[in-house]
A and B are shown apart, each in its own frame.
Chain A
């Protein structure tokens, strides 16, 4: 790899990392504002204009709280838990294509941190590791409620990973590639996967809610039954890291949904618009790419809003209902979706070739 490429990649990775953290920070603010809007309240409005400095105030408060480690807990693992949660949450945005390529001085610059030909499997692998932070933290707390929360998180994640994987397989059958860049490129214009995979998208969406431990599937931190769930014993910024990791997971889940089903950086009439703007292909390409990044983030923000909307609208499931939904409804539906997709592909080959 050339040194220019290396420097560019380093900068890009740092920028994506910063954006991830920034979005996660302001998700907490957005969550309160959305909750306030839905419940007909005003929400945070004291720190700064419109309460915009509220996340900073929260972080300051978190840092100055007492660091509390329970006696008889496993100290090393107790500290490791939130760290693992945060590390794994930050890993998956590396393969997501936030934009197509820019052409700067004749050099093609892709707006994606690393391109691997198994990008989707990478995301899936990282998501499947996400439960370790919760499990380690919950177990190391030496508290029955924390342990129950951790065990709920484990069983919930394993159950919903299956349905999630099966719903992704239908996408793979259509695109024939595991690379997220390739999947994004195939949805050029308005040719989004959602038109072909509505059932798969609904399954994926439900599973994403369960994987990120969001309402209506936030059983691991169900305060009515488990005090505080897996983070009962946590205080200060260690608790903050757990909560922060959840918001990063929401951001990543939204980005993956936008990439897989909603055309990533593609928007309708993008090529026509490019031809309209300029005759110079380089300028046209760059303008379209930058617009594409804006569109991508608009899609991501919509899904983050959707996560919050659902949280403040739907009540929580019961645990046996959650398991029943995962194993008896979503997995058969996902298998049906695979069969339908396979049949559709065969029919298309038969009639339109």
Chain B
């Protein structure tokens, strides 16, 4: 057999271009579906990891998927809103910690995520520069958002108007950048985090302005009575929260009635989670409680049905390639007919000739296999980064 292998090796070496073409065909047809499988598995793992690390989400009744896309990935579509009191209700049960989220506004196309500091602890977000949010009007940027916007702590960022055509609408708020988060290769990298109260100020539920009751400027006063001063529309609201004007910022109404888009509930244990879900199912409230892993898992199953189509295409292409390779070998045999006859006349048996051809095929398959494993190892090693590069854009 070693003689056959030697002769086969010499033959392959002499016909190196034909051999390389064959190896490339075999390697490609093997590597392609396997690489796809590795990358899809990694994509699924990463997408599910964010859902799996979020035990429960409470939001308004309606599409659970919209709620998940907004809560986990800060998507553009704003789900039906709930009240801050829903978050407090979860705290009061003593079954879970509650992290409210208000994902509605944007700053230069990046989602403004109004939340509490507990979110940073929950996601394990560390700071690459600067410090956490401390006072109203500050924001913390995800790593990628900071890089693309070329912002650093101390710079400022203006919230985008909710509606360009609403001239009498909410003033954009100039936010001071307090810190930049470390890269996490998740939706957090593209977010602009603010305190919930800052998000409500962006919405116009809270605002700051001069003291109309005490300031001497009568031009802004529409009506003055003993216990009430009505200001007219010329009263200018502050568009930036500074040390000098922060005390003038105030909210209208009760904070528990202010809107949020969702609450991430962190049950203390499995039993607490079950009780909490039970309470929401029993109650007739319009809010829903969902397990993100189940919702995103179902979504993934639908998305990855396309993989079956890809698999089918690859199988067909693979079959075609195998047939082509068989044809190459058949043609090769025909071309080598005189060479085979010479070997036969030299006294070699037909079995020896078969050994020679088999050795050639084994060597080519072996080399392709080694190449294939090498490529797969590299893909597997960088699969997490490759997927992040594709999704965190």
Q: Do A and B bind each other?
A: no
Using a CB–CB distance below 8 Å, which chain B residues touch chain A?
A: none
On A, residues with C-beta under 8 Å from B are none
